[in-house]
Structures are given as structure tokens and as C-alpha cells.
Chains A and B, each alone.
Chain A
Amino acid sequence: MSDLVAARSQMAVSLVFHIIFAVIGIAMPVLMVIAERRWQRTRDPIYLDLAKRWARGTAILFAVGAVSGTVLSFELGLLWPQFMRLAGAVIGMPFSLEGFAFFTEAIFLGIYLYGWERVSPRAHLLAGVIVAVSGAASGIFVVIANAWMNTPTGVMVTNGAFTHIDPIAAMRTPAALPQTLHMTLAAYAATGIAVAGIHALLVLKGRASAFNRAALMIGLVVGAPAAVLQPLSGDIAARYLARRQPVKLAAMEALYQTRAGAPLTIGPPPGIKIPYALSLLAFHDPHAVVQGLDAVSPDERPNVGLVHLSFDVMVLLGTYLAVVGLWAGWLALRKRDLAAHRGFLRALAVATPLGFVCVEAGWMVTELGRQPWVIYGVLKTQDAVTPMPGLIVPFTAITLLYCALAGVVAVVLYRQIIRSPVA
């Protein structure tokens, strides 16, 4: 394994791990706040139980999110010092704002998780709201930094050095809006559907308690609308790619030749082709010209197989989640009892992990699709990597460590939450 590949793999492992906790950290506070608000409204103890139980699990996941995030902040320099040397002054701004958002989040999380008996009910709920808002804000800021890597703005590059740095213009990079929108919705969709799915499974197993019904409904309230909106925001993301990062789009769609009236390829190439569909989706015009991979030399193309596969997985599973979300809405509109509809419950239980799979697949599209660039069109990944040799050692160490940590989390969560009797 070359040092570059080891560095990329270590970055990938760290991010694949962190994003799970980040997504839960963004959405779980919303679910807890809804449950607590219902409790304050109805005084139904089930909702209090729910909020407290969720808070206990979230505390564990937050701690893991914090340490894996700390690791990432260091890894930006440990693995990609040349990238940070150039880009630090440009995208330091969103990272700094993210730092302050974390701080706010951490402070009020402490109050929320440990302060049930110490602050007034209203102050407690407000602390939860602040955690939810600052969690979403930190996600948005860090994704803005990533968006800048995709569409760098606010700098001029002369002989490899950055001049005319404008951090505000950098934060207003065109990729920021589609990416932050799609990512924030993804957090709510993945977490909400997963919570609803777990409780759907419990109901199916004969534990149709009021507790499980309440949890299922709150999960759906957050997850279903987001899942329905996700294909729409994905379409926005794809259309911006067609203009700004045509190579990535071509790799996602396995489009080798530039052509008008491009078809949509589904499955490993040659796959199934839907005529004109790609031109239609990318430019809302069946005859539009879509740029293919042949527009750039082979050494500037990403790994088409992986990017295309990841994209297909995201879209396939995303469509399934959207259908489940629509189904939930349809049943709710007709005033049917969702927790009694076995077909729906089964579909929901199947959906439990799928949102997280979509998140990982989507990030593979974004990050692998940007290769060989770390800053699109400006800096190649191979020129950003640290000169330190033997990177396979830290890569192996971090991977083993994260496997162990995942085991710890699974054991503790199991003992704390799942195994404890549910009324």
C-alpha cells in the first residue's frame, strides 16, 4: 500500500466513522425535544421516559462524536499538511465557526443531559432546542468547508500560492447551498427513519406498547418529510454538478462520451440505459449536451466504478426511503393507525439502516468523485499528502482503534438501552 493510499484510507475510515455520530448528533436532539415538549403538554409519562432514555443513549454517542471529530481536526494536518498550509487561511473561517457551534452545543448538552432536576422545565427544553440548533449549525459549517473543496472560490492561485484571499467569498461557494441542504435533510431522514424502524421492529415482535408507538411516531415526524424531500434536494445537487463539476457527474453516471440527449445508466456499465434521461435530469432538457469523461485526460478521472456504484446505491435506497415516507404520509392522511399496519411496519423495519447507508454512499460520491483533486482544479491529493513515510502504520492503528471503540459503544448501548425492560 503506497503512503498516499494509506493516507486516503485513514481519512476515509475516520470520516466514515465520524459521520454516523455526527448525523445522530444533529438529529437526535430534535427527537428528544419533541418528546419532552409532548410530555410538558400532555403529562403523559411515556414521553418523559422516551426523552430520558434517548438522552442517555445520545450522551454516549456524543462522546464518541467528540473524540472522532477531534481526531479528524488533527488528521487534516497530520495527513494533508500541504492542503492545510494553503487552505487554512481560506476555510479556517467555517471551521472556526464550527468550533464555536460545538462549544455552544457541548455546554447546553451538559445542561440537557445532566440537568433534569437542576433547571426549570422551560430552561431544560430551551437547552435542548439550543443543542439541536447548534448541532445543525456545526454540520452546516463543516459541509461549507467541504463545498469549498469542490468549488473553490475567494482565492487567486499564482504559481501554487494563494493570493487575494477572501474567506467570506470562500464561504459563499456555489456548492455550499446544495450540499448543506442535502446533508442536513440527510441527517434528519437517516436518524428519524432509523428510530422509527427500530420501534417498528419491536411492535412487529409483539411489543405494541404505547412507548414504542410514541417513539415510532416521533421518528416518523422527523424522518418521513426529510426522506420525501431528499430526492428533490439530490436533484438540485446533481444539476449544480452538471455545471460546476462535470467530471464528477460523468463518473457518477458512467458517461464516457460527451453527447447530446445522454441516457441514464443504471447498474454496472453497460447496465440498463434510459434514453435522454440524464440530459433531462441534469439540465431539464432531453437534448442538452452532457459532458463525458472524455473531456479530461485519463489521469484526471476519478474511479468510475466506485463512484457510479455509490451513486446508484444512494439513489436506489433513497427512492425506497422516499416511498416509505410517502406511504406514512398517505396512511396518516387517511387517519389510519400506522402502528397497526403490518405491511407498513415491515417496510419501515427494513428501512432502519438504509439512511445511514445512503449517507456513506453519498459521501463516497462526493469525495471519490472529486479525485484526483483535493481542491478541485487547484491542488491534487498526491501533492497534499504528508511526506512522512510508513503511513500504513497509523492507518492500521486508527482502524483497529475504531473497531474497538465501535465494539465498546455497541456493548454499552445494548446494556443501557435495549436490554433494559421496555414497558
Chain B
Amino acid sequence: MTPSLAVTLAGIILIGLTAYVLLGGADFGGGVWALLASGPRKQAQRELIARAIGPVWEANHVWLILSLVLLFTCFPLVFARVAIGLHVPLTLMLIGIVLRGSAFVFQSYGEGSAAGRVFATASLITPVLLGVCVAAAATGAVPVEPRGSFVAVYVRPWLTAFGLAVGVFALACFALLAAVYLTLETRDLPLQEDFRRRALVTEVVVVGVAVVGLFLLPAALSIHPRVVALTAVTAASAIWSLWRRHYALARVAAAGQVALIVVGWGAAQYPYILPPDLTIQAAAAPRVTLELAFTAVIAGAVVLFPSLFYLMRVFKAQSKNAMR
């Protein structure tokens, strides 16, 4: 059976989100490492981060917007219900995004002032809240009808131990991605070692939080054991390749690991787009809208992928040299 148009578009939205996590997430992770820069190469670390992020910052963040507009075009009901039920964490997440933008402006223009650091620290709430929102949506906690007390409708559904674990997990994953990518952004060996060490430590944290998360996992969400096994394998290969300094391989493994987590989440809640009751089919916009959106995605991809490839080639070419 071929997947329906609605399922295809839901898949495309999930791919967009994955790309945001892999690219925009690394931007937040870079923010973590800029804050935690330390040791004799403190300044060099910060400069490397700013240099790596600058040219791709905008493009990395558009993935979120693209996923969002496709969501409200193709599944308006989901967008409306999530926006009501998760109003509080989403607003906090937005505040974090604005602060991240401010910190980027400060950092890229050599204003390493105290204000810049305050913004950067505060922006770390964004990955945590992104995780919290995903956890709430995936476990069917978003209220179907906003009825009841303020706390019951707008706070309790998302403020759970599991949600917070997923939030911390997201932050750790983003830091991991950034550290791994950064090993490929420089040919300066000591600097590379700095980020290798950071990547290894973070990977251990990621695995630790994942284990805790699996314990807290509510019964409503069942993650396929095969997905868990596959993720564990990628995590192990990331550690191994970092240990052996195969940085290009480590990048593939770490990105693969995080992508598997996002896709695994999508698979776990299939066929629901917003549990407990909204299936992808039931929440979909009318067929004309879906057809047009799909056409736009295809046309957009024809323009975007060569352009993105060009962008990466222009700015990330030196990383190839760093591999040798």
C-alpha cells in the first residue's frame, strides 16, 4: 500500500523537524560551548564557533519555520490545539529563540559582553522546552478541550518528570551535535582535541539521560525495541569513532543517532499525529490543499537542495581537509 498524501506530508514535516534538530539544534549546542569555553584556548574556541555558525545561521533556522507553516497548512487542527494547550512552554521557547538571536548578533560582532552571556544562557531554555513540548504532544497530554482550571489545562499536561527528562535530553543531544561538528571545522589539533573531549563526555551524558528517560516513559508511548537497538548502535559507533579520531564518521554517527531519535518518535505515535485521538488522516486539510502543498514542497526542493549543497560546499569545504 502506498502511503496517502497526508501521511507523506506528515513525513515531510517530520523530516523538516529532523533537519532543524540536526542543524538548528547544533546552533543551540554551539551556544552551550561558547558559554562553557574554558582553558588556554578559550578565545579560539569561541571564535571557531562564531565562524562555523555565521554563514549557515539563517538557513539552519528556517527549517523550523518551514515545518511550522507546513503543519498549519496541512494540519490546521493540530496547530490550533497544540498552540492552545502548550501556550506557556511555546511562548517560553519563543523567548529563548529571540534571546538566541540576540546572542548571535552579539557574538558574531565581537561583543563578548556580559549582556551577551546573559542572553546566551537564557536561550538554553529553548532546547529544553522544545523537548518538553514534543514529550507532551507525543504522550497525548495536550488537552482535547481546554476545560478545567488554569493549572489543569495549561500547566500540568506538560510539566512532568518525563517531559523534563526529554528536555534535558534534547539539550544534551544539541550539545553533542555541536561538539562533534566542531571537530571538523578546524585543522588546529589542540582545538580539535578540546571538542573531541567535549563530544565524548556529552555522549556519555546523552546515553545516561536516555536510560533515565526510558524508565520514565509513560505507557502511552511505545518505542519499538528495534529503534532503541539501532540508536544504541549509532551511539556506540559515535563513541568509538571519536575515540579513534575518525571525525567524519563520528559526525555521521552522531547525526544518525539524533535523527533516529526524532524519526523513532514519529514512528512511535503513528498513525496519530496528535494522540490520543487525532490521526494523520482525520486531522488533514482538504485534498486540494494537500496537493498544492505537496507541489510546493517538490518545487521548493528542486530549488533548495542544489542551493543548500552550494552553501555547504562554499563554507564547509575546509572541513574535508581537516579530515586528513
Contact = CB atoms under 8 A, between A and B. Distances in A.
B1 interface: no
Contact of A104 (B64, B95, B99, B303): B303
A67 interface: yes
B293 A76 contact: no
Given A88-B73, A111-B310, A78 B300 contact: no
Interface in A346-405: 386-390, 394, 397-398, 401-402, 404-405
Interface in A151-188: 165-168
Interface of A: 59-60, 62-64, 66-71, 73-78, 81-82, 84-90, 92-93, 95-100, 102-111, 113-115, 118-119, 165-168, 386-390, 394, 397-398, 401-402, 404-405, 408-409, 411-412, 415-416
Contact of B106 (A70, A92, A113, A408): A408
Task: Report which residue of B54, B66, B72, B82 has the largest number of chain A beta carbons within 10 angstroms of its beta carbon.
Answer: B72
B105 A74 contact: no
Interface in B49-94: 54-59, 61-62, 64-66, 68-70, 72-77, 79-84, 87, 90-91, 94
A150 to B, nearest CB: 20
Given A100-B303, A103-B62, A103-B304, A70 B311 contact: no
Contacts of A100: 66, 296, 299-300, 303-304
Interface stretch (B210-218, B238-246, B281-289): B281-289
Nearest to B147: A387
Nearest to B115: A408
B196 interface: no
A113 B95 CA distance: 26
B82 A99 contact: no
Contacts of B76: 84-89, 92
B55 A115 contact: yes
B315 interface: yes
The 5 closest A-B pairs by CB, nearest first: A92-B73, A88-B76, A77-B83, A67-B101, A106-B58
A81 B80 contact: yes
A84 B58 contact: no
Contacts of A416: 109
A107 B304 contact: yes
B287 to A, nearest CB: 9
Contacts of B58: 62-63, 66, 105-107, 109-110
A416 B110 CA distance: 10
Contacts of B206: none
Contact of B105 (A109, A166, A412): A412
Given A74-B68, A111-B314, A404-B102, A63 B73 contact: no
Interface in B284-309: 285-286, 288-289, 292-293, 296-297, 299-300, 303-304, 307-308
A63 B101 contact: yes
Contact of A74 (B62, B84, B94): B94
A63 B62 CA distance: 11
Given A84-B83, A106-B59, 6 more contacts: A66-B61, A70-B61, A88-B73, A103-B66, A103-B304, A386-B87
A103 B59 contact: yes
Interface of B: 54-59, 61-62, 64-66, 68-70, 72-77, 79-84, 87, 90-91, 94-95, 97-102, 104-106, 108-109, 111, 115, 119, 146, 150, 154, 285-286, 288-289, 292-293, 296-297, 299-300, 303-304, 307-308, 310-311, 314-315
Given A78-B83, A81-B83, A100-B304, A167 B91 contact: no
Contact of A412 (B75, B87, B109): B109
Nearest to B66: A99
A165 B289 contact: yes
Contacts of B54: 110, 113-114
Nearest to B308: A107
25 contacts: A63-B104, A63-B105, A66-B58, A67-B101, A68-B98, A70-B64, A81-B80, A81-B83, A92-B70, A92-B74, A96-B69, A103-B59, A109-B58, A110-B56, A110-B57, A110-B58, A110-B59, A111-B314, A113-B55, A118-B315, A165-B288, A387-B84, A397-B91, A401-B95, A411-B111
B10 to A, nearest CB: 14
Contacts of B87: 78, 386, 388, 394
A107 to B, nearest CB: 5
Given A106-B59, A110-B55, A95 B72 contact: yes
Contacts of B74: 89, 92
A66 B101 contact: yes
B98 A67 contact: yes
Nearest to A114: B55
Contacts of B62: 66, 99, 102-103, 106
A71 B94 contact: yes
A376 to B, nearest CB: 20
A412 B119 CA distance: 14
B72 to A, nearest CB: 4
B229 to A, nearest CB: 35
B90 A78 contact: yes
Contact of B292 (A111, A168, A401): A168
Contacts of B304: 100, 103-104, 107
A155 to B, nearest CB: 10
Interface centre among B76, B97, B300 (most CB of A within 10 A): B76
Nearest to B59: A106
A167 B288 contact: yes
